[in-house]
Structure 1
Amino acid sequence: MKLPFAKMQALGNDFVVLDGVSTPLTLTAAQCRKLGDRRFGVGCDQILVVDPAPDAQADFGYRIFNCDGSEVGQCGNGARCLARFVERQGLSTARAIQVATRTTRMNLELLEQDWVRAELSRPEFQPARIPLDVPAQAERYTLDSPVGMVSGGAVSVGNPHFVIEVDDVARAPVQQWGEALTRHAAFPEGVNVGFVERVAADHLRLRVFERGVGETPACGSGACAAAVIQRVWGHTEARVRVDLPGGQLRIAWDEGQNVFMEGPATWVFEGEIEL
């Protein structure tokens, strides 16, 4: 079949976005791998599908597939692209929409100059809700791994994150430690591994190794997780800017509240691919 698609990016985190509203769409893992292949397909970090609303509270459904074919429950950068896609495709004229993934819901608001504000749900720290297999909840966890003992904070913002504080993010062992930790036995569904450098109380630098993908230029949910963990540790203010290799995001969170993320979402091109 010929499948229309849009290629979009948010701070270099790139996506193939598909309309499952106009035509119901089922994707196999093999089709996701083809779409994500940078030589034989379109090429992307994730494939995003906008679906009809699953219930009266949501405006759209939102499915996220990694380029290895695995489905995940959250992608903050992708959500901002999805909001722009819905507008450009004429699927909605509203400036604010709610989307439902398999694990969470997000409110998305179109701002000026291609920026989008995403309101995520409250962070989950209970190990069973992350999920994280440990005896008890803590602000920091130390894991025995192939690279030695590694300490960090764990949180779910719709998907699981393990955040490690480093002195210099440019020198962080992202590939080596990311590969060792993303499939760690303590995380039964895998985990995204963030390496965060605190520049100031309102400024972080971050690199993220995403499960099923590897290191990406940016990770919106990873930026939220890093800001939340730093706030829990008492290191930062409620509002921070997070610098990633692909650009900057603005994150706001205070204890007991939802997380807010603001950043750009850009249309790259559109086309059709034979699947």
Structure 2
Amino acid sequence: MTLEFTKYHGLGNDFILIDNRASSEPLLTPAQAIKLCDRHFGIGANGVIFALPGQNQTDYTMRIFNSDGSEPEMCGNGIRCLGRFLADLEIADAGASRAQYQIHTLAGVMTPKLEENGHVTVDMGEPRLLAGDIPTTIAAADQKVVNQPLDVAGNSWSVTCVSMGNPHCITFVENVAAIALDHLGPQFEHHSAFPQRTNTEFIQVVRRDYLKMRVWERGAGITLACGTGACAALVAGVLTDQCDRKATVELPGGLLAIEWGTNNRVYMTGSAEKVFTGIV
């Protein structure tokens, strides 16, 4: 089989984008996605994203396989890249594109908007804060998990949990650079308190409007950026009264602007850049 692809990245979080509009099922299997994501024997990426036909009156559908073959509900950096990819496809097809898309995902409908400066703003929806919705067993299903103790790697960590359609465990630290992420990340991800595993964010509060973040992504490991994680981090910062409802989040790959609006919806703005196209 011959397959055309385009490589994009959002703050270094990189993806293989596939034009899957002619079929409602992904053109690749999870095993094939694993091979393509391999940085030595494949193209190299954190995941493969498929642009499929829309569902329930949406413009398109997003499916994604992580580099380990697992399928997450959503990916913040990935959906910004998908917005750019869809615009490129529409321009190639008809010479023009929309400025905004309604995208069906496993986490609900997301709305990426292409900005004139090249950035993409995404309405990420409302955060889910109850333990049963994340899901986690740290608290009762109908309770929030805010500054709760969690034993990991022989230490007790104070964690706050948020779902942005996918699970996140956030802990605030004095110095994110000092965190042994490769050691701690897998132990958080596979902790028994998270029945569907979890993304893990370590956050340093520089100012109430500026956070530094390092992330271990469920199914991908250490990455340069995580859009849903940045959203969850800001929500956790507000819940613990450590940051404002609008802040810049600094990740190893660059900056994201995050806002938790008074309408309870979270908005993420950041870059999405085409790297190259190819045939595999």
Q: TM range, normalised to the smaller chain? A: over 0.9
Matched with 1:3 is 3
| Structure 1 gap ranges (5+) | none
Contact 1:115–1:262 under 8 Å retained in 2? yes
Matched with 2:42 is 41
Between 1:187-196 and 1:89-98, the stretch displaced more is 89-98
- Cα drift, residue 117 of structure 1: 0.2
- Cα drift, residue 140 of structure 1: 2.1
Matched with 1:223 is 230
C-alpha deviations, 1:70-111, integer Å up to 9, x for none? Answer: 000010000000000000011772101111111222111000
1:36-115 residue pairs with structure 2 within 5 A?
36-56=37-57, 58-90=58-90, 93-115=97-119
Name the CA distance, whole Å, in 1 between partners of 2:167 and 2:275.
29
Contact 1:147–1:177 under 8 Å retained in 2? no
- Cα drift, residue 59 of structure 1: 0.9
Name the CA distance, whole Å, in 2 between partners of 1:229 and 1:166.
13
Between 1:140-149 and 1:207-216, the stretch displaced more is 140-149
1:104-143 residue pairs with structure 2 within 5 A?
104-136=108-140, 137=143, 138-143=145-150
Mark the CA change 1:255 to 1:233 in structure 2 (over 3 Å): closer, same or farther.
farther
Matched with 1:195 is 202
Matched with 1:262 is 269
- Cα drift, residue 255 of structure 1: 5.8
C-alpha deviations, 1:238-272, integer Å up to 9, x for none? Answer: 11001100000000004651100000000000011
Name the CA distance, whole Å, in 2 between partners of 1:120 and 1:263.
13
Q: What SS does the aligned partner of 2:264 have?
A: coil
Corresponding letter in the other structure for 1:64: I
TM-score, length-scaled by structure 1 = 0.95
1:150-165 residue pairs with structure 2 within 5 A?
150-165=157-172
Aligned length: 272
Q: Could you tell me which of 223, 227, 233 is aligned with 2:240?
A: 233
C-alpha deviations, 1:31-57, integer Å up to 9, x for none? Answer: 01111011111100011111101111x
Name the CA distance, whole Å, in 2 between partners of 1:72 and 1:135.
23
Matched with 1:14 is 14
Contact 1:124–1:156 under 8 Å retained in 2? yes
Identity across the alignment (%): 38
Corresponding letter in the other structure for 1:80: R
Contact 2:261–2:267 under 8 Å retained in 1? no
- Cα drift, residue 26 of structure 1: 3.4
Mark the CA change 1:39 to 1:33 in structure 2 (over 3 Å): closer, same or farther.
same
Q: Could you tell me which of 235, 260, 266 is aligned with 1:253?
A: 260
Q: What SS does the aligned partner of 1:2 have?
A: coil
Q: What SS does the aligned partner of 2:3 have?
A: strand
Mark the CA change 1:145 to 1:251 in structure 2 (over 3 Å): closer, same or farther.
same
Corresponding letter in the other structure for 2:107: T
C-alpha deviations, 1:154-187, integer Å up to 9, x for none? Answer: 0000110000101011112222111111111111
Contact 1:76–1:221 under 8 Å retained in 2? yes
Name the CA distance, whole Å, in 1 between partners of 2:106 and 2:246.
28
Contact 1:147–1:180 under 8 Å retained in 2? no
Contact 2:138–2:150 under 8 Å retained in 1? no
- Cα drift, residue 23 of structure 1: 4.7
Matched with 2:28 is 27
Contact 2:23–2:53 under 8 Å retained in 1? no
Between 1:98-107 and 1:118-127, the stretch displaced more is 98-107
1:148 aligns with 2:155: yes
Contact 1:206–1:223 under 8 Å retained in 2? yes
Contact 1:21–1:51 under 8 Å retained in 2? yes
TM-score, length-scaled by structure 2 = 0.93
Name the CA distance, whole Å, in 2 between partners of 1:9 and 1:114.
13
